[in-house]
Each structure stands twice: as C-alpha cells, then as structure tokens.
Structure 1
Amino acid sequence: MERRSFLRGAVIGASAAAFGGTLWRGAALADPAQPGTGPYGPLGPSDANGIRLPEGFTSRVVARTGEQVGSTSYTWHRAPDGGACYADGSGWIYVSNSEVNPSGGASAIAFSATGAITGAYRILSSTRQNCAGGKTPWNTWLSCEEVSRGYVYETDPWGVQAAVRRPAMGRFKHEAAAADPVRKVIYLTEDVGNGCFYRFTPDTWGDLSSGTLEALRMGSGTSGPVTWGEVYDPDGSPTATRYQVSGAKQFSGGEGCYYADDTCWFTTKGDNRVWQYDAAAQTIELAYDDSLVPGGSAPLTGVDNVTGATSGDLFVAEDGGNMEICVITPDEVVAPFLRIMGQSGSEITGPAFSPDGSRLYLSSQRGTSGSSYGGITYEVTGPFRS
C-alpha cells in the first residue's frame, strides 16, 4: 500500500488539482429543488441486502460492526458514520468514523484496483462520538467530535502517522468539514439547534495547527449576501463559539458539508434544508427545503450527510425519513436514488465515491438491530453518470 505523510510540500502546492476530481460542472442551483424523475429512474425491488436500487446498480456488504472485515483480522467499529475515499496507487481507501462515546475514533478499509478488500485498520482511537468530518486536499481525514467543546482530529488514512488534535479549528459540537482549495479555508458545521456555519483560515495552507476561525453573518431570511466575524476564543470557554460573533446566522442542526466549484453545500436537519454558499460571490441560498415542496410530498427528509459526483449531482443521506439517499440534480430535481428496507431504527451515513466515481460507499449506522452494535457498511456499484 502506498504510504504518505501528513504534510508534503509538493501536494500542498498542487492541492487544487488534487481536489479537482469531484468538481461540479454547469451552473449552480438557482431555486430550491422540487420532486421529479431522477436521472437513474425508479427504484427496483429489494436486493439480497435489502436495498432498493435503480436498474443496473448492485450492492454488497463490505463490513459489519463486531465482525472481521473481509479476510482481515480487523474488527469493524460500532456506529459507522462520516466517511471519505482516497486514491491509493491503483486501489483506494475508505475511511469511516465511529459515533460512540467514549472510544469513538475512525477506521479504514483498503481496496485493490478490482475492489477486493486488501486491508482494514484503526486510524484514530480514544476520542468521543466521531460523527462526520471531511477530506483535505493533502489527503488527510478531519474526524470531528460531536460533543460539547469537541475537537477536530487530523488523521492519516494510511494509518502510519499519528492523529493530531487541531484546537485552532474550534471547540464546539462539530459535525462536518469541507476544504476550499481556492480560498484556502475549511468550512465547518455545528450540530446544535442554534449552531453556526464556520470557516477556518490556516496561517499556512496545509498546516491546520494555527489560523483564524470565523462564523457566517447575514440578515434575516434564507438568501442574500454574507459576511464573516472572527471567533475571538476558539476554545469556547466560558463563552461558546456560537455566541461570540454578533449577528452570526443561526442554523438548525448543521450536518453534512461538501465543497466543489466555488460552492459549499451543507445541510441542516432541524428544518430539512440543503444550503449553498457561493464562496466567490459570498452569498447564500437554499438548494432544497422540504417545506417548499407542495402537497407534503417531499422525497427527502431527515437530511444528513452529503457528497457529490462529477456529474454535478448531490447525494444526500437521510437520518430517518425513508432510509434513502436522494439525488439533487443541477437542474433542480430531487429524487430517491436508493432505499434501505427493514432498518427504520437506523440512519444512512458516510456516503463517498471511489476515486473513479464508479462505486458509492455508505453505512447504515445501526442496521436492523437499531443498536450501535448493528452497523453495516455497503458498496453500491453501477453506471453513475459523469
């Protein structure tokens, strides 16, 4: 397996190119998406894994909590959550958080060029309720603690370098992170009912040990220009970070976060919204809001983790709802892409595409048992559009 160090000057200098594999094409969404016929057609009947998929797609189980991963000796963690994929020579690595407290952390599965499992191992230990996170352009994984005054941990997907705590990125109830290599900032969501949307500007791009943390400010409403105010004490004590910036916009339970083509997309579970922040124009608007779907027929509820494909499609996972991943297309259509049956006590987490875009990884955090011991991690393969 190819090994990489945390901070390599050559990678940092080429970070925009390295991150460009999932850049969006075409114009950003202009209005909140509405239900319609998705690009992959209707869902078929349940397959052997209890997943309903469009024609041409198949699924397989790659890991189960408490069981050894493939033919390895590594036991998969409880409550799999946020995840990301990394190129590794001709193969790739999928990393996954563990949302338990204590002893959360994160693990990784290595795949060959054919998709065979070649290894599995721990990359982060002895942390608390690691929910989502984000991939950096220099190929580290930011694992975020979803606890009061939680930390961001920068981890090595190859499991070689020790994980590093990054307190400069703020101590709050972290959810997800997304890197913007153009403006050289990291966006961060906060999972509380009156949380903020943050950006962290490192003093040196590629080194997250120091920098400036800010919270987004805007007037009332859901669209318009924004500004940023500095969080004067990222440690969050005695005053929580979300109360330190006058006029900071409050968001109802920040969840997933994804960046591409000058846009950061993030979700809020308290109001079932997908937001889009135009980083070039410094404006914000809604990409999806279930309350704006006529007739109470919103296909996407319980919005949570989010990722994107090279086609410009967003894939949004549900925490509850119908246990679906829904696709939101650039032409403002939202439709189910898959549905997991018989697991209503769970949530879908960690959607991430393999480097070539042909495989989508995801987890059912609590599986059929409804317990953190019942987690299942899947791979979906098929004709994803590019």
Structure 2
Amino acid sequence: MAFGFTLWSEALAYPAQTGPSPYGALQAADANGIQLPQGFTSRVIARSTQTVPGTDYVWHSAPDGGACYADGTGWIYVSNAEMAAPAGGAGAVRFSSTGQITGAYSILTGTNRNCAGGDTPWGTWLSCEEVDLGYVYETDPFGVTPAVRRPAMGRFKHEAAACDPDRKVVYLTEDESNGCFYRFVPTTWGDLSAGTLQVLREVNGVLSWATVPDPDGSPTRTRRQVSGAKVFNGGEGAYYRNGTCFFTTKGDNKVWAYNAVNNTIAVAYDDNLTSNPPLTGVDNITGAAVGDLYVAEDGGNMEICVITPNDVVAPFLRITGQSSSEICGVAFNPAGDRLYFSSQRGTTGSSSGGITYEVTGPFRTSL
C-alpha cells in the first residue's frame, strides 16, 4: 500500500466505505466560514469581480476547474470561468516560494462556459467548454503563448480532461445524462492538433475503444455515433495516476476507476453502497502523492471529501453559509502542502460572488 492506489488494492477493496478521516474530526468554522481538521488554516485568494490582492487583475466570475504549475521556486494556480460567451475563459494567480501572491492575469478569453479541464505533462492547461458542441482550448498557464482551440479532441459537452502519459492518450468526460467516456489519441504525443477521438464501448461485458466517425458532432452528436457506447450519468472531474483514470458522475454520485492496464472499470465510490455517505453531488476530483483522492461537492453540504487508498471516505473540509454554491477547482501546489479550490457562487449564490481559497496544513506524506 506504500505507493497508494495500486492495481492490487483497487481490485480487492472497491467501493469506498464511510469511515474516520485520517485527519480527524472537523473543527469549528474559521473566520472564512470553513471547517477544517486540527492544524489546517484557510485564506481567501481572490473574489469574483474584485482585484486579486496585490495586483490590478479583476478575478473572473463563476470560478470552476483548476490546476497548479511549477514556476521557478513558486507556482501558478489556473482557474476556469464558467460564464456564457464572451465572459468565459480562464485566469491565473502567481505565487512566490513562500505563497505570496506576485501576479494575476488572463490566459483565455471569449469562450463559453469553461467548466473543468486538465493539465498536461508538457505544462499546458486544457480548458473545456461545457456546452453542446463545446471545444477544448489548450492554454498557457504563464499567459505568454495565445490559447489554441483543439477541434480534433471532439465537439461535445466537455467537462474534464486527464492525461495518461503511459498510453499517450487524454481521457475526456461528457456532462450529459447519457454521456460517454472518451479518449483522444494524438498523432504525436505532446501535440493535440491532430489525432483520433475514441469512445469507450461495452458489449457483452467486454470493454473496447471505438473510433468516433465524426468528432465534429454534427449533425449526429458524438455520444450517439458508436453502437454499444457505454453511458455515464453526468460525467464530471477526472484524474489519472498509476494506470488508473478516476472520474466522477454527478447523476448517480459515483466515482469510477478505469484501469487502463487491464481495460476494466470499477466503481470506486457509490453513495448508495455505504452507510451515512458523506460524499454527495460528486464533482471535481484531484489526488495527493500519498494516494488520497479529494472529491469536491456540487451542492451536498459543501464538502471536499477524501477517499484513502484503504477505501475509506470521509469529509476533509466543509464550507458553511454557502448552500447555494458548489466547490470546484481542487488542486494541490507542486509541493503538495497547499490545496486550492473555489466556491463558485460564494455567499451570494450568484456567479459574481465566487471565492477562491487556499488551505495550508499538514497534508500527509505517508500512510
């Protein structure tokens, strides 16, 4: 178990069951209204429609999916804007080695309802449009290279992307009640301008990948083009590690584990298969090096829950006083000692009330 989420443990222990958090019980809400385990603290990084502290950049409304990138001795946090065009896009905050904010800027503008996405091994951010016939945009977290639309990755109601450097593919989720699970196979790894879009099929219990004949999705949507395509109820976040792509479906509150090595799929979490399920409204997902998964709630009781390699699920934090919002953009800094996320609508319940947070504390480094 030392390496976390090994194929052996996955095969034996799914799905996760309610249990005690490795960090202990949540404490009383802090000044930011966040309940955290003992030893953890929170701070507000940015608020929608207001300038990011120490900069002249106005933070976007409806902050959503995010990721962190190394920047010399510091790092960058990227965040999508789930706003209708032309207000959609993505912004970034730059931090020094001590966590001080040193800059903020836009990396994508003029797009439509940029929900989740994913980082790439070559250091770009894939920003996904959650609209019918939406696109994936490849962006530069440093804000230097202009963003590029990647139509070869398909036009559908995109949600998240997760890169698999072992098989040199990018997994993609679709936010439809009858959505599919895709993978994009680039012609050249590291170049997303050309390649093949495939969809996961299941025929007589056997999984396979089939090429989508028309990735453009018109007139027939991509999810309807391949007979036997496996259907998922509202695809959301995705995260790849060690041969497995974990992804979530909000329509049935599940976390799935696609084992790319054996080409099998299992349910890693199902709120109907554990007592007093702490995790509902499953949405964005990320992971820590130790093997823990962190899953954010869209609704529920506004928690980020941890799923351990021992398949225990428990609350890690809870945001109070924001029941009309959702948590999104969960991402660790490169050192793994700071967790970033947003409350998309904050205390106001409107997209202009979004708040982006940082949590610092003794995240575990061993099991």
User: Scaled by the length of structure 2, what TM-score is found?
Assistant: 0.96
Alignment match, 1:14: none
Superposed CA deviations along residues 173-210 of structure 1, whole A, max 9, x for unmatched, are 00000000000000000000000000000000000001
Alignment match, 2:92: 108
- Structure 1 residue 124 corresponds to structure 2 residue 108: yes
Superposed CA deviations along residues 34-56 of structure 1, whole A, max 9, x for unmatched, are 10001101100000000000001
- Structure 1 residue 257 corresponds to structure 2 residue 232: no
Question: Does the CA contact (< 8 Å) of 2:156 and 2:174 recur in 1?
Answer: yes
- Structure 1 residue 371 corresponds to structure 2 residue 350: yes
Alignment of 1:57-136 (within 5 A): 57-102=40-85, 103-136=87-120
Question: Does the CA contact (< 8 Å) of 1:111 and 1:117 recur in 2?
Answer: yes
Question: Does the CA contact (< 8 Å) of 1:25 and 1:310 recur in 2?
Answer: no
Equivalent position to 1:272, from 253, 259, 268:
253
In the aligned structure 1, how far is the partner of 2:260 from the partner of 2:152?
22
Residue 111 of structure 1 and its aligned partner are, at CA, apart by 0.1
In the aligned structure 2, how far is the partner of 1:152 from the partner of 1:372?
22
Equivalent position to 1:233, from 214, 227, 232:
214
Question: Does the CA contact (< 8 Å) of 1:352 and 1:360 recur in 2?
Answer: yes
Alignment match, 2:335: 356
Superposed CA deviations along residues 192-235 of structure 1, whole A, max 9, x for unmatched, are 00000000000000000010001101247xxx652111101000
Determine helix, strand or coil for the equivalent of 2:257: strand
Alignment match, 1:289: 270
In the aligned structure 2, how far is the partner of 1:34 from the partner of 1:280?
25
Question: Does the CA contact (< 8 Å) of 1:25 and 1:311 recur in 2?
Answer: no
Equivalent position to 2:191, from 184, 200, 207:
207
Question: Does the CA contact (< 8 Å) of 2:23 and 2:316 recur in 1?
Answer: yes
Question: Does the CA contact (< 8 Å) of 1:218 and 1:248 recur in 2?
Answer: yes
What stretches of structure 1 move > 2 A for 4+ residues in a row?
23-30
> 2:364 is matched by which residue type in structure 1?
R
User: Scaled by the length of structure 1, what TM-score is found?
Assistant: 0.92
- Structure 1 residue 339 corresponds to structure 2 residue 318: yes
Residue 25 of structure 1 and its aligned partner are, at CA, apart by 5.5
Question: Does the CA contact (< 8 Å) of 2:4 and 2:309 recur in 1?
Answer: no
Question: Does the CA contact (< 8 Å) of 2:302 and 2:327 recur in 1?
Answer: yes
Unaligned regions of 5+ residues in structure 1, if any? Answer: 1-22
In the aligned structure 2, how far is the partner of 1:238 from the partner of 1:217?
21
Question: Does the CA contact (< 8 Å) of 1:133 and 1:141 recur in 2?
Answer: yes
Determine what percentage of the aligned residue pairs are the same residue: 70
Determine helix, strand or coil for the equivalent of 2:141: coil
**What is the CA RMSD across the aligned residues, in angstroms?**
1.0
- The number of aligned residues is 359
Residue 379 of structure 1 and its aligned partner are, at CA, apart by 0.2
Alignment match, 2:142: 158
Residue 245 of structure 1 and its aligned partner are, at CA, apart by 1.1
1:24/1:156 CA distance change after superposition, 3 Å:
farther
In the aligned structure 1, how far is the partner of 2:4 from the partner of 2:236?
21
Unaligned regions of 5+ residues in structure 2, if any? Answer: none
Superposed CA deviations along residues 266-322 of structure 1, whole A, max 9, x for unmatched, are 00000000000000010000000001123xx11100000000001100000000001
Residue 24 of structure 1 and its aligned partner are, at CA, apart by 4.6
Alignment match, 1:307: 286
Residue 31 of structure 1 and its aligned partner are, at CA, apart by 1.3
In the aligned structure 2, how far is the partner of 1:124 from the partner of 1:135?
15
